[in-house]
Structure 1
């Protein structure tokens, strides 16, 4: 390997360590090209984390001869690590790309595969959530060039800049205090929202690949959330942004979202804060709100499908070791997050909730919440080909496939819900961007 290529690997090492996806797929490709030996593959595979495997691979590549750098670029491009190849050599994506099926790339199952130059058939998992589908290390599928006509169309909201806009995310892990009776006396305890860190990681990776800047605020009281919201609205970046996204990961009630102090930030206040009248820099632009929180303490027993009830109960009990109901009285299955030109003021808004009014939502302590993980799964696979409203209908479908046990150990279900005053279609157009003209840090 010549010195120029060696320097490219060295200067980009930190980026490559964090951003090469599914390292062993890259290694397999390099073995096919006789760059990596079986012994080297075993050494890489023995590393504990994906970052460590990337480090070991980057230690090996410079020692593998004059063809190693080009073979490495080829392997990156053809395992859907185009972004890493482009970091090393701009234009590598178009030079090294070959026609491969999705199953050959090891990215999706054969039934999800799409014919060349056509939209993929939408096939959803039969169960939800599952460890196989709720992953944080994923690549958002990019738009094909056939989507560029829509990208320029007035029927779609403008989504062209890089970054598109900002995501403000509230993640309350240490949640509201509650009283429990132990040994004849009442004691204060904190409910921890196990699994919410998985949601945060998945959402950050999703939105960054959809060309958004993401900021996370953790463990906030209601007054702190109000202050954060006021500061966000005053951010000069929004004047040139295409879109704004707000996310809440917390416990909730019939009125709204709990802060860590046990007070409630009402959903009505949140919606009002970000409407066209009160968020002037984003007037006529899409404002999206996603709320992972309960909206009451009721459990939806669902419509009785007699033939399936016994199997559902069996499946739910089998998964008990990994799951946990976040309830002061019981901890066992999936956790409930209880507790100048005029424009219409409330136009251009989209609000999605993890569950319907008065009902609990569910969060798996290992896989993440049903709703957020479904949102991430659908957007990472289908934002390249369809719009927001169609995708959230698919999210509703996935969430409804979940099964949990309530306090009485009966099967409970849930379904997410959304409302929209959007006036155009909203397509994220992943992979399609104009020249960077602004930055949240400016």
Structure 2
């Protein structure tokens, strides 16, 4: 049987080599995305607001102290200056955010802001069961209002519900039945560059908390930041957090409930927290 032999013309070979060169340069460019400068010591302030006990009808957030302790140690180990606040009213929450935004952050390279509380439809509740709009806190750190953080990554991690709906999944095994939704929060999208806003659950849904072990979201966030921060950028880590939380479940009778975190990012460079 005769085999046909294809002979490429000089022009065809040139085009192929040119295409390979373009492809190689594209891949190289993807691998060399600029990184935010994160060399300051401390890197920045890490605010933690932890609301556990509420004055009115809301359930106390039993187990949240576990999340707070893990976050405190994590950000300290990652060379942030931790600013911890416990059981704040709504007015105190916004005042704390204002006070931090008014500081001179020139010597810092980043900001971390963590809130552990009840939430609903774009708001976060204080211990007095009054609320502050999540966007109101975030907007305090826009470049026009906090110029010494301009061009620096501002990272928000919110452990709170975004509504009262549950997410049903397939029947899976569960770690514990003593799990409560952080019940009682609209999707928040940063309106300026250099923000990442991460929520423990998608819009309209509850976020689960175990009194013995803390929340699925914070556990996964802390674990993956510790394991991956030296090799992977923050967006890759947050994707892994989404995967890990999604694979957990909560059994209630014949129903199995799952949870999926969400993040919105306007980061323009890679964030490496090493």
Q: Is the structural similarity TM-score above 0.5?
A: yes
1:257 equivalent in structure 2: 124
CA distance in 1, matches of 2:153, 2:223: 22
- Residue by residue over 1:22-56, the C-alpha shift from the partner in whole angstroms, topping out at 9 and shown as x without a partner, is xxxxxxxxxxxxxxxxxxxxxxxxxxxxxxxxxxx
**Does structure 2 retain, via aligned residues, the 8 Å contact 1:167–1:215?**
yes
Shift of 1:175: 2.8
1:416 equivalent in structure 2: 261
TM-score by length of 1: 0.52
> What residue ranges of structure 1 are gaps of 5+ in the alignment?
1-152, 179-189, 324-333, 430-442
1:277 equivalent in structure 2: 144
Change (3 A) 1:275 1:394: same
**Does structure 1 retain, via aligned residues, the 8 Å contact 2:33–2:270?**
no
Shift of 1:262: 1.2
- Residue by residue over 1:356-413, the C-alpha shift from the partner in whole angstroms, topping out at 9 and shown as x without a partner, is 000000111111101011000000011010100000000000110111145x662110
CA distance in 2, matches of 1:409, 1:353: 28
Cα RMSD for the two superposed structures: 1.8
Q: Name which of 220, 223, 228 aligns with 1:382.
A: 228
Shift of 1:345: 6.1
1:367 equivalent in structure 2: 213
Q: Where do 1:15-414 residues align within 5 Å?
A: 155-175=34-54, 177-178=56-57, 190-236=58-104, 238-302=105-169, 305=170, 309=171, 312=172, 315-316=173-174, 319-320=176-177, 323=178, 334-339=179-184, 346-405=192-251, 410-414=255-259
Shift of 1:351: 0.3
SS at match of 1:418: strand
**Does structure 2 retain, via aligned residues, the 8 Å contact 1:294–1:338?**
yes
The answer to which structure, 1 or 2, has the higher relative contact order (CA under 8 A, 6+ apart) is 2
**Does structure 2 retain, via aligned residues, the 8 Å contact 1:176–1:258?**
no
CA distance in 1, matches of 2:121, 2:191: 24
**Misfit runs of 4+, over 6 Å:** none
SS at match of 1:175: coil
SS at match of 2:48: strand
> What residue ranges of structure 2 are gaps of 5+ in the alignment?
1-31, 185-189
**Does structure 2 retain, via aligned residues, the 8 Å contact 1:207–1:214?**
yes
Give aligned pairs, total: 238
Shift of 1:275: 1.9
SS at match of 1:177: coil
SS at match of 1:356: coil
SS at match of 1:262: coil
**Does structure 2 retain, via aligned residues, the 8 Å contact 1:175–1:192?**
yes
Normalized per residue, the structure richer in helix is 1
CA distance in 2, matches of 1:404, 1:270: 32
TM-score by length of 2: 0.82
